[in-house]
Structure 1
Amino acid sequence: MKKWLKISVTCFLAAILIITLAACNNEKVQKVTVAEVTHSIFYAPQYVALEKGFFEEEGLDVELTLTAGGDKVMTALLSDGADIGLVGSETSIYVAAQGSSDPVINFAQLTQTDGTFLVSREKIDNFSWDQLKGSTFLGQRKGGMPQMVGEFVLKKHGIDPHADLELIQNIDFANITSAFASGTGDFVQLFEPQASVFEQEGRGHIVASFGEESGHVPYTSFMAKESYMDENKEVIEKFTRAIYKAQQWVEEHSAKEVAEAIQPQFEDTDLELIEMVVERYKGQGSFSTDPILEEDEWNNLQDIMDEAGELPERINHSDLVNTEIAESVMK
């Protein structure tokens, strides 16, 4: 009887210990909401961090919410509807120029080139940029990075986007693909995988990359309000460390391995297509290999905005970019 009682007490204490440890572990898990401007293979390292458990290893429970449009991501951040935003860095400049008392700070860069491609309705064997003159060009939303980079590249090739062609930029981001499919435009500026899907279906042909033409720019970054970063320094550090692990993983693995890792995020997309898109982005260096947003990239961003007539004012790199966290996790 005494032996049975001793065993029962031991089992009871063990159960209490397990429950206590589980409770402690649960307390350590921090919920983080991320508002992403679009759900795209262009953001592969973020999905690798999710699918490979890198956020989990850091004690973070990351929830992604699709918040289409840079202005909507900013609204979500400023209203505390999201903790972190994944969006173009230009949005933080727009907010700062409006005199925000709680600026949005870029703390980890995810992509370092434009992610769009020029798609022609007709097959062109020997494409040259001057072939856009006199055409109808279905561009992206005015004031957004895709459109500003698009105009920057056109001007680089001696094309005035507002005089040498018919520029359409009043169609919502979500409807650009369907607009081109229905017959609008001779050329269109598209993200992947839409560009490759059109090519596979014979409805369009990729003739150039805006990313290759525009150079390095902080195209998409993780950012948060300054107040949130001050109050959650450890969370931001853990988040950045997970992203850095994912960036290194993407850099060190093949396009096929990356595609296989992120396929659960794109269940309706064929694995071979995902691999082709990843290979294309890897080939032109679109994925940042570390989270540091360099000053020269920041200045290139503002030059592109200025060229498009969308830069409200020049803002110093140190005012809206925090590289200390990224530098710390990389040591």
Structure 2
Amino acid sequence: MKVKKMVALALTTAMCAGLATQPVMADDGYSLTVSGIGGSLNWLPVYIAQQEGWFEEENLEIEEVLFTNGPVQMESLSSDGWDIGCTGVGGVIAGVLGYDAKILGASNTDDGTQYVFARSDSDIVKAGQGNNSINEEIYGDAETWKGKSILCNTGSVTQYVLIKMLEGFGLTQNDVEFIAMDPATAYSAFLAGEGDACVLTGSGGTFKMLENTEEYTAVASGPLVDSGLMCNFVANKNSYEDEEKYEAMKAFMKVYFKTLDWMAENTEEVVQYCVDMNDENGSSMEPEIVEKYVQADKYYTLDEAVQMMETKAEGSEYSEMESNLMDVLDFFISVGNYMEGDDEKFAGHVDSTLLKEVLDESK
């Protein structure tokens, strides 16, 4: 297995730092800077392909740049910090509206690892279930949630899940004390006694809390609030319009979906790779927890990913994928996170051209 040298990436914001991996590859070929969320399920195929040498087989040199969340990931587009990125809906919206990024496809569902936790002895849990109009399995009621301090990442899928849950109680984010924290920080802070509830997504913290039911209760989740979220590939517009970078992105996509096919047939190896990835990311997990983590969301096949961009959503002028993303954006607009008219600005940024070419060339 390759040993990778990690170096700090300076950011314009102090809330996080990325990690850059310097690749080793023969001369002649394509190069691509690829960004992602460290330890995430949609980054795992990139990690595996790097370890297996599959990018090199396609004559593609990869430089990895890792972040803790999507909005911060997109900030580095202001300086052309990367060419293509793997991210969640928070990153997608921030990238399109802030930096005119292109959406090239979807990699996997993104609601299976999102949970809202409260302490098991809290009045939220004691209020029981059956009081939420979205799903009767969600804990609490309007009175017990009102005024609670909630640790949650802002502008991300976790905030979307939280707001949808509150909506089911007839509440808005203004009815609670929203404390902005990335998931890793929120997990540590909640363990230390801060906050009445926390919203987590990703790996270690989420599944460790799910195992510790005596102290913590999963009071809501992405599937319970019917979030319908997914992870996507987002391209730097300048890179996408560059002929050589465009071809490099095609090679990247070819390897990515080839890796997904391999992962479907090699589940034990996938678990070990995920353990290794999270160890390197500083978010170590036991293999038993990792096994649940890698099964939490569904990866799309290349055919499915293209079909979502080519099939019109029912009653919509947009594709199934674009319609899904715009539904999330419309929700954020309705609660004041984005402005009226941003939906019109967002429309038209999904481009299926590249992924269709990858599919055609794979036949």
Question: 1:223 offset after TM fit, Å?
Answer: 1.6
User: 1:183 maps to what in 2?
Assistant: 193
Question: 1:258 offset after TM fit, Å?
Answer: 2.2
Provide the aligned length of Structure 1 versus Structure 2: 296
Any idea what the Cα deviations from partners look like across 1:44-95, whole Å, max 9, x if unmatched?
3333333343323322232322223434322322312222222234445445
Which of 79, 103, 107 pairs up with 1:106?
103
User: 1:31 maps to what in 2?
Assistant: 31
1:263 touches 1:271 (CA, 8 Å); kept in 2? yes
User: 2:256 maps to what in 1?
Assistant: 243
Structure of greater relative contact order (alpha carbons < 8 Å, 6+ residues apart): 1
| Equivalent-residue separation in structure 2 for 1:43 and 1:211 (angstroms) | 21
Query: Which residue identity does 2:324 align to in structure 1?
Result: E
| Equivalent-residue separation in structure 2 for 1:308 and 1:86 (angstroms) | 26
2:257 touches 2:301 (CA, 8 Å); kept in 1? yes
Any idea what the Cα deviations from partners look like across 1:128-169, whole Å, max 9, x if unmatched?
4251532335242332232023202331x23413365x3333
| Equivalent-residue separation in structure 2 for 1:149 and 1:296 (angstroms) | 18
Indicate the percent of aligned positions where both proteins have the same amino acid: 21
| Equivalent-residue separation in structure 2 for 1:139 and 1:110 (angstroms) | 27
| Equivalent-residue separation in structure 1 for 2:270 and 2:221 (angstroms) | 21
- Pair 1:153–1:181, CA change in 2 (3 A): same
- Pair 1:36–1:203, CA change in 2 (3 A): farther
User: 1:303 maps to what in 2?
Assistant: 330
| Equivalent-residue separation in structure 2 for 1:28 and 1:212 (angstroms) | 49
* 229-238 or 64-73, which deviates more: 64-73
| Equivalent-residue separation in structure 2 for 1:142 and 1:149 (angstroms) | 11
2:138 touches 2:219 (CA, 8 Å); kept in 1? no
When the two structures are superposed, what TM-score results if normalisation uses the length of structure 2? 0.70
2:36 touches 2:73 (CA, 8 Å); kept in 1? yes
Question: 1:255 offset after TM fit, Å?
Answer: 4.7
User: 2:165 maps to what in 1?
Assistant: 153
| Equivalent-residue separation in structure 2 for 1:193 and 1:141 (angstroms) | 16
2:183 touches 2:200 (CA, 8 Å); kept in 1? no
- Pair 1:314–1:167, CA change in 2 (3 A): same
Following superposition of structure 1 onto structure 2, how do residues 221-260 of structure 1 map, counting pairs within 5 Å?
Answer: 221-231=232-242, 232-250=245-263, 252-253=264-265, 255-260=267-272
- Pair 1:143–1:120, CA change in 2 (3 A): same
User: 1:195 maps to what in 2?
Assistant: 206
Following superposition of structure 1 onto structure 2, how do residues 1-331 of structure 1 map, counting pairs within 5 Å?
Answer: 26-41=26-41, 43-94=43-94, 96-97=96-97, 103-114=100-111, 115-122=113-120, 127=129, 128-129=137-138, 131-133=140-142, 134-135=144-145, 136-155=148-167, 157-162=168-173, 166-191=176-201, 192-201=203-212, 203-218=215-230, 220-231=231-242, 232-250=245-263, 252-253=264-265, 255-267=267-279, 268-279=284-295, 281-282=296-297, 285=298, 287-290=299-302, 291-292=305-306, 294-312=321-339, 313-315=342-344, 319-331=348-360
1:298 touches 1:317 (CA, 8 Å); kept in 2? no
Any idea what the Cα deviations from partners look like across 1:194-230, whole Å, max 9, x if unmatched?
1111243554233442145334334x32222222112
Query: Which residue identity does 1:300 align to in structure 2?
Result: D
Query: Which residue identity does 2:79 align to in structure 1?
Result: S
2:161 touches 2:227 (CA, 8 Å); kept in 1? no
Which has more helix, going by share of residues?
1
Query: Which residue identity does 2:289 align to in structure 1?
Result: L
- Pair 1:90–1:69, CA change in 2 (3 A): closer
When the two structures are superposed, what TM-score results if normalisation uses the length of structure 1? 0.76
Query: Which has the larger Rg?
Result: 1
Question: 1:189 offset after TM fit, Å?
Answer: 1.1
Any idea what the Cα deviations from partners look like across 1:284-311, whole Å, max 9, x if unmatched?
x3x3334445233223222332333223
